[in-house]
């Protein structure tokens, strides 16, 4: 009122306002500037997800921000894409999105490529609806990024945890001349925020993950809109755009890849299909998950693992939707334990243990007990060829192997049994380890993933403890056919995959080429 009276009586002065402020607020009047200044934009991605991979400058005089899509082939909860959009808008530049489709990804075949291409088709459609273009180049990702970076202000990439993809990023960081930023998209809690070392078991990492969970299990803020569009696509004689139009399974024929394992019809790749399956699971299966999840004959599973592996859905979206579903807390907790704690334990393993795909990754007690019992008499011994053809005496194991060969998936409980039996039937534990990784990575859609590498290692004692010692398997946790019969209607499971009129030695074989026998090429991580 005092200021209003001064104004009305035309007695207001700068000194009177300052006197009033000094008296009541104790701070001096500051001159207000009305000059136009750039709006400071707030980054929507937490700093804990962002890592600078080189010390090169941001080349602000160049044409576009380059987003190298590789691990996260989706729109929602894609923090790498979100950060790239933020930087493009902040710098007033267009955004160029690219994916490098290489023919030579280790152990990938037609089955994996078809699922990948379906996901790329889906995200390309979604981005097009937002006037954004995804360019898929038939090229090694490294070569693609190095060529496109010549006109890039900055390059942004998602994070991946396996050796070959880690090396891609290292080499690109060295070879390009602009800033290179990596954004974590695979995990709920960034691996190095949760812990700074390889964890011993789920019980040791669980409290560390839950400590940070609430900061990251938040709804997706959709900011995927770029103010400046790419006017023209850079012409690169050395790069060939791969046209995604058409049936993905037929597009695979244009690639020079291993075609010995055909695509599957049971699962379709892509974020749209992943979200549909998640909704279906939450509505019809989650309420029974805790009680029925281990029964292989009932199929009370989410089928999320292939979609997680190919980056078609985020674990954050999965957990958020599960928490909102109409199911008991017990069922929700059981599922979240798998998709959050167990999965992120596997990423911790592959991040901190460079030998994640070899027998050497196992704890000392497990290696010792396996080697000590490697000479024990065995009732059954099988070769790789017999195992791959599901030609063993055990119908339960054969059914599990055929489920994987035919559908690209295996029920999780049977996956454990499947691995444990190979350890019994192959005398050399290192050979057994190689066989399991070979079969898993060849046929499983979620093969070649931290979760699968960890699953195989678990069969050999990783993230487990020593149990009562017995012949052949030593101190490893033991699983038996009798246990399957006691717990489940295992015969119903067998009937789904093993024809009753077909003898084991006549079962189909997809390929007789076994490259696993050559030692894996390993380089420093």
The band of 229, judged by pLDDT with boundaries at 50, 70 and 90, is confident
Q: Lay out the sheet containing 50-52: strands in order across.
A: 50-52, 179-183, 152-158, 64-68, 95-100, 134-137
Sole residue written with tokens 């399957």: 484
Q: 112-144 pLDDT, tens per residue? A: 999 999 999 999 999 999 999 999 999 999 999
Per domain, the residue ranges of the chain are 1-29, 47-216, 271-352, 359-517
Q: Does domain 47-216 have CATH number 3.40.50.620?
A: yes
**Pairwise CA distance, residues 275 & 77, whole Å:** 12
Please give the residue that has the higher pLDDT: either 435 or 7: 435
CATH code for the part of the protein at 359-517? 1.10.579.10
Residue 502's pLDDT is what?
57
Choose between 525 and 377: higher pLDDT: 377
pLDDT tens readout for residues 398-452: 999 999 999 999 999 999 999 999 999 999 999 999 999 999 999 999 999 999 9
65: left (phi over 0), alpha (psi -120 to 50) or beta: beta
Residue 309's closest CA among 497, 116, 170, 149? Answer: 116
Q: State percent of the chain over pLDDT 70.
A: 87
Query: 271-352 belongs to which CATH class?
Result: mainly alpha
Q: How many CB atoms lie within 10 A of CB 209?
A: 22
């Amino acid at each position: 009122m005092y200021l209003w009276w001064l104004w009305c009586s035309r007695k207001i002065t700068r000194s009177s306002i300052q006197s009033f402020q000094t008296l009541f607020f104790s701070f001096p009047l500051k001159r207000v500037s009305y000059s136009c200044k750039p709006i400071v934009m707030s980054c929507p991605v937490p700093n804990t997800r962002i890592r600078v991979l080189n010390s090169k400058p941001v080349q602000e005089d160049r044409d576009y921000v380059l987003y190298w899509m590789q691990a996260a082939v989706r729109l929602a909860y894609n923090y790498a894409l979100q950060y790239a959009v933020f930087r493009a808008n902040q710098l007033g530049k267009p955004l160029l999105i690219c994916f490098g489709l290489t023919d030579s990804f280790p152990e990938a075949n037609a089955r994996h490529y078809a699922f990948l291409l379906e996901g790329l088709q889906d995200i390309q459609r979604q981005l097009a609806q937002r006037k954004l273009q995804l360019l898929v180049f038939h090229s090694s990702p490294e070569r693609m990024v190095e060529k496109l970076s010549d006109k890039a202000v900055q390059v942004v990439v998602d994070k991946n945890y396996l050796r070959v993809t880690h090396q891609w990023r290292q080499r690109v960081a060295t070879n390009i001349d602009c800033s290179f930023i990596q954004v974590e998209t695979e995990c709920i809690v960034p691996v190095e925020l949760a812990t700074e070392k390889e964890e011993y078991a789920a019980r040791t990492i669980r409290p560390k993950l839950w400590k940070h969970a609430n900061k990251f299990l938040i709804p997706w803020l959709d900011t995927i809109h770029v103010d400046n569009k790419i006017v023209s696509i850079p012409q690169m004689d050395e790069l060939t755009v791969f046209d995604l139009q058409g049936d993905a399974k037929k597009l695979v024929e244009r690639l020079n890849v291993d075609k010995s394992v055909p695509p599957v019809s049971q699962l379709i790749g892509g974020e749209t299909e992943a979200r549909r399956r998640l909704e279906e699971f939450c509505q019809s299966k989650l309420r029974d998950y805790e009680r029925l999840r281990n029964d292989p004959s009932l199929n009370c599973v989410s089928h999320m693992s292939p979609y997680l592996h190919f980056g078609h859905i985020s674990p954050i979206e999965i957990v958020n939707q599960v928490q909102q579903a109409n199911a008991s807390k017990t069922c929700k907790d059981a599922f979240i334990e798998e998709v959050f704690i167990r999965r992120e334990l596997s990423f911790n393993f592959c991040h901190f243990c460079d030998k994640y795909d070899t027998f050497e990754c196992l704890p000392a007690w497990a290696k010792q007990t396996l080697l000590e019992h490697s000479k024990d008499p065995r009732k059954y011994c099988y070769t790789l060829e017999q195992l791959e053809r599901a030609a063993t005496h055990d119908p339960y194991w054969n059914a599990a192997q055929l489920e994987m060969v035919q559908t690209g998936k295996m029920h999780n409980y049977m996956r454990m049994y499947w691995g444990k039996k190979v350890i019994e039937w192959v005398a050399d534990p290192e050979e057994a380890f190689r066989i399991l990784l070979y079969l898993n990575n060849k046929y499983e859609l979620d093969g070649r993933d931290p979760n699968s590498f960890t699953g195989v290692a678990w069969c050999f004692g990783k993230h487990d403890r020593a149990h009562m010692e017995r012949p052949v398997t030593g101190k490893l946790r033991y699983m038996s056919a009798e246990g399957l019969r006691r717990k489940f209607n295992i015969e119903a499971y067998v009937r789904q995959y093993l024809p009753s009129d077909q003898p084991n030695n006549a079962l189909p074989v997809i390929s007789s080429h076994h490259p696993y026998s050559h030692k894996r090429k390993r380089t420093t991580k």
